[in-house]
Amino acid sequence: MKPRSDDAAVKPRFAFELDVPAAKLAFGRVVVFALLAADALAQIRHAPRYGAGFNVAQLPGLDALGPGRVGYGLGELVLAYAFVLIACGVATRWLVPLAAVIYNWLYFGSQLDSYQHHYLVAMLLIIACFVPWQREVALDQPVRSWALRLMLVQLGIVYLWAAISKVDPLWLDGSALGGQLHGSLRSLIDATIGMRAVAILVPLTELALVLVWMRPAWPYLASLGILFHLGIVWTGLEIGLFAWLMIGLYLFVVPDRVYLAVVDRLAPVRARATELAAALDRRRWIVFAVAVVAGLACAIACRLPGAFVIAIVATVCVLAAGLRRRRVVTVALAHLLALATWLAIDRTTSIARDYYKFWGGSARRLNDPAAAETAYRHLSELAPDDASAHFNLGRLLLAHDDVTGLDELHASQRLDRAHARAYIAEAQWLATHDRLADAVAAAQAGVAAEPNDAEARNLVTTLLARSHAR
């Protein structure tokens, strides 16, 4: 029998694996999945586009499987929750495949998602199912992964085709880029090397970045790639978090020695963190209870639609994990962080507000007054200072002679004293309900609010004529 080493020497080997320090995998995981969580929450505002009885899927035959408004919103909430847990290194073997399935469903389910980077993320998540995110080794020890290499190969393929797509006279003469760039970066380019030069430099850079999957190229490509995508951030193009996500992915390209140096430097911090973890572990059931209760409080305070329902399901899962006594403190804190992320993003952005505004607007245009009323009622509760919400709700209520609509119009008038529309709506309703004097007064108030509004002026003239005719 031949020795094992001889076997290895004779047998041809397809060496695709990448050995990287565990610190690189952990840091990249935290950043990339945290960005994905933020992106998932940001997408919730677009949920009202989905459903409404019409869909075209990304792939033929899948139209009926596309998500509806509710399904899309809940799917993104689950994704955001799962991504935070993955970022914390919790249950990655289960959560990454779950996130990949939901993400791919949401993306391929409808052409309404036209972000190319969401297609990239859908592909990367499939590959990410095979990355050993939770390998328990010291941070300076290597972790071997073929899937991480495949993720970088995927990026290389994206750059290759992106460069090929720019071999086009309309790109190379700078007109395509010039048509899409605005703001300070545009001024800077125009004042220096010119749009044409940048249009040539972009595909050349992309061609260089094709080699991103090859380790020897990392020392050069890490900084080139990060600068390239920071430049895209600077353009201010409406591409969501694409450029930031790409920068996050470059954390896997930053040379290993950087991570090893940081791990070495942070040894005292890690020692303290280990002590803290041990202290928390001694009080793990208190930490667990506090995290569960605080998590529920976050979910109650979160205004994103469906947040409380998903939080209850998540809490049940966390309680089940707690009963199995597996990494109790980590799971509980990750759960709390996920729900706190929902709350923080909800309260610092206009996502919930936009959701109801877009839902109300589309339902109104599509002649679904019941849905529009529900949406605007939510919006006016959520944003009592939104004159438009009160105006639209008022009009919808008055359309079926619910006089509380007048209160909504009055609220709108108080909040927006510079526009006539709420006065006009009030005057029109009053005029059709035999309250001509009140209608004239409302119309005149409209003209006072917005003297140049032709509709308000005409309404005053018409109503006064009717009033005199009596």
Q: Is 180 a binder of other proteins (CB under 8 A)?
A: yes
At 144, give phi and psi (nearest 5°): -100, 130
Applying CB under 8 A, does 111 fall inside the site for other proteins? Answer: yes
> Given candidates 30, 52, 224, 297, which one binds other proteins under the rule CB under 8 A?
52
Return all residues near 169 (Cβ < 8 A) that are at least 6 apart: none
Within 125-154, which residues bind other proteins (CB under 8 A)?
A: 127, 146, 150, 153-154
The Cα–Cα gap between 227 and 155 comes to 16
- Interaction between residue 25 and other proteins (CB under 8 A): no
**Interaction pattern, residues 326-365, with other proteins; x per rule: CB under 8 A:** ------------------------------------x--x
Q: Does 234 bind other proteins (CB under 8 A)?
A: no
CB of 29 to other proteins, least distance (A): 21
Q: Which stretch binds other proteins (CB under 8 A): 22-30, 175-183, 218-226, 403-411?
A: 175-183
Which amino acid, 468?
H
Query: Which residue, 174 or 295, is less far from other proteins as judged by CB?
Result: 174
**Partners of 143 in beta bridges:** 20
Stretch of 48-56, 136-144, 267-275, 435-443 contacting other proteins, by CB under 8 A: 48-56
CB 428 within 8 Å of CB 452: no
Residue 299, token pair as written in the block: 């979910």
**Cα 435 from Cα 466, distance rounded (Å):** 12
Contact call for residue 58 and other proteins (CB under 8 A): yes
Indicate which single residue of 3, 12, 61, 268 sits in contact with other proteins (rule: CB under 8 A): 12
As a residue count, the chain comes to 470
3-state DSSP assignment of residue 350: coil
Q: Which of 309, 305, 306 is nearest to 352 (CA)?
A: 305
Eight-class DSSP state of 349:
S
Judged by CB under 8 A, the chain residues 247 through 286 that form the site for other proteins are: none
**Closest to 440 in 3D by CA, of 418, 417, 469:** 469
Determine, following the binding rule CB under 8 A, whether residue 162 of this chain makes contact with other proteins: yes
3-state helix, strand, coil in the chain (%, to 5): 75, 0, 25
Residue closer to other proteins (CB basis): 48 or 295: 48
Q: Does 175 bind other proteins (CB under 8 A)?
A: yes
Cβ closest to other proteins, residue 113 vs residue 373: 113
Q: What is the DSSP letter of 142?
A: E
**H or E element in which residue 19 lies:** strand 18-21
Q: Which is nearer to other proteins, 58 or 349 (CB)?
A: 58
Binding flag, residue 16, other proteins (CB under 8 A):
yes
The yes or no reply on residue 236 touching other proteins (CB under 8 A) is no
Count residues binding other proteins (CB under 8 A).
45
Query: Cα(197)–Cα(175) distance, rounded to whole angstroms?
Result: 11
Residue with token string 């997408």: 43
Q: Are 163 and 207 in contact (CB under 8 A)?
A: yes
| Residue number, 113 or 426, with CB nearest to other proteins | 113
> Shortest distance, CB of residue 54 to other proteins, whole angstroms?
6
Q: How far apart are CA 250 and CA 229, in angstroms?
A: 10
Contact residues for other proteins (CB under 8 A)?
Answer: 11-14, 16, 46, 48-49, 52, 54, 56, 58, 63, 111-112, 114, 116, 119, 123, 127, 146, 150, 153-154, 157-158, 160-162, 164-166, 168, 170-171, 175-177, 179-180, 237, 362, 365-367
